[in-house]
Chains A and B, each alone.
Chain A
Amino acid sequence: MVRVRVVLAVALLLAGPAARTVAWAVDSPAEMLPDPKQEARAEAIGRQLRCLVCQNESIEDSRAALARDLRHVVRAHVAAGETDRQIVGWMVSRYGDFIRLRPRLDWLTLPLYAMPGLAVLAGLAVALVALRRRRGEPPAPLSDTERARLERLR
């Protein structure tokens, strides 16, 4: 019984992310562009854009009315032949950099992107210092009194 449950839990865990990647919130097929290539592009753009209502979802995932409007706008711009950069720029000029789900690399976000590398470097530095300290210099030779004491202990 327990094993069945474990298997089920593992299956759910594995299926969870997979299921999430297919369940877009597009409400009706009428929302989609007739050209599958354009529709794929629109979805790719929409997945990079944050829904301003449900702030951790992309506009492709969100069922909020504003997300639906923004999906519609993205598709209209794709159909008009604009580039991805133009469309994302259009959104950023209205809602700021916050609408990008993946922050752009600039001086402000540099620490964010550099953090993993810095953490690894800091870890290496700590490890190096610890290692060097452990090896250290060989202990100083015994002094005369110490040698005398050692003799006595023997």
Chain B
Amino acid sequence: MRRRVLFAAPFAVAGAAGMGAFAMLRRMPDGQFDPHAVDAPVLGRMVPDFALPALPPGPGFDAAALRAQPRPVLVNVFASWCVPCVEEAEALLALSTHLPVWGIAYKDPDAAATDFVRRTGDPYARLVADRDGLAAIDWGVSGVPESFLVAPGGRIVWHKAGGLTAADVERLARGQG
């Protein structure tokens, strides 16, 4: 009996490891598991303090404006020089029909940012410029694009590092209904 258990143990361990790896690989393509993900301590916290210059035509916003919102707002950090930002533009535009999307242009010349926004269909109700990228560090942004869902009152309840997909939009829009 003992011999049989000892014989089976390595196979059981290898089997469990294999199933774990399989689960990981299966969750990777649909974005449920990201081996490079950086955890976001900002989740569940209030939005960090910031005050950034507005990029017209819309009004800008600051932390106080986010906290004063009666509705959820999606804060999207982007840059005109970022390829995934172009890829997520369509999803962002679709999302903007469900809830307000406010943009933070990350380390981007103002003209380049506004030009990019005009080209991609302008999903942003409000737009500000984080020229030196220091405000984004307070949000824990490690790369663009990155999106944060801010609940009424200013608590950050959802976060995604990387471009939004149609599936994300569906999930966020359903949360609205």
Contact of B143 with A94 in the complex, beta carbons under 8 Å? no
Partner of B40, one of A55, A73, A92, A96: A96
Produce 1/0 per residue, A60-99, CB < 8 A to B: 0000011001100100000000000000000011111110
Number of B positions contacting A (CB below 8 A):
16
Contact of A66 with B134 in the complex, beta carbons under 8 Å? no
What separation, in Å, do the CA atoms of A148 and B105 have in the docked complex? 98
Contact of A66 with B41 in the complex, beta carbons under 8 Å? no
* Residues of chain B lying within 8 A (CB to CB) of residue A66: 133, 142-143
Q: A52-B38, A55-B36, A65-B107 are in contact. Are A95 and B134 (CB under 8 A)?
A: no
B interface residues with partner A (beta carbon < 8 Å): 36, 38-42, 107, 132-134, 137-140, 142-143
A-B contact pairs, 17 of them (CB 8 A): A52-B38, A52-B142, A52-B143, A53-B142, A65-B133, A69-B133, A69-B134, A69-B137, A73-B134, A92-B41, A94-B42, A94-B138, A94-B140, A95-B140, A96-B39, A96-B40, A96-B140
Partner of B143, one of A53, A92, A96: A53
Q: How far is the CB of B143 from chain A (nearest CB, A)?
A: 6
Residue among A55, A65, A94 with the most chain B CB within 10 A?
A94
Q: Apart from A52-B142, A55-B36, A66-B143, what 11 extra A-B contacts exist at CB < 8 Å? A: A52-B38, A52-B143, A53-B142, A53-B143, A65-B133, A73-B137, A92-B41, A93-B41, A94-B42, A94-B138, A96-B140
What separation, in Å, do the CA atoms of A95 and B141 have in the docked complex? 8
Chain A interface extent, by class = 10 to 19
Main DSSP-derived SS at the A contact region: helix
Closest to A65 in B: B107
Contact of A96 with B41 in the complex, beta carbons under 8 Å? yes
* Residues of chain B lying within 8 A (CB to CB) of residue A65: 107, 133
Residue among B36, B39, B140, B142 with the most chain A CB within 10 A?
B142
Contact of A94 with B41 in the complex, beta carbons under 8 Å? yes
* Residues of chain A lying within 8 A (CB to CB) of residue B143: 52-53, 66
Q: How far is the CB of A89 from chain B (nearest CB, A)?
A: 11
Contact of A70 with B107 in the complex, beta carbons under 8 Å? no
Q: A53-B142, A69-B134 are in contact. Are A95 and B107 (CB under 8 A)?
A: no
What separation, in Å, do the CA atoms of A65 and B36 have in the docked complex? 18
Contact of A95 with B36 in the complex, beta carbons under 8 Å? no
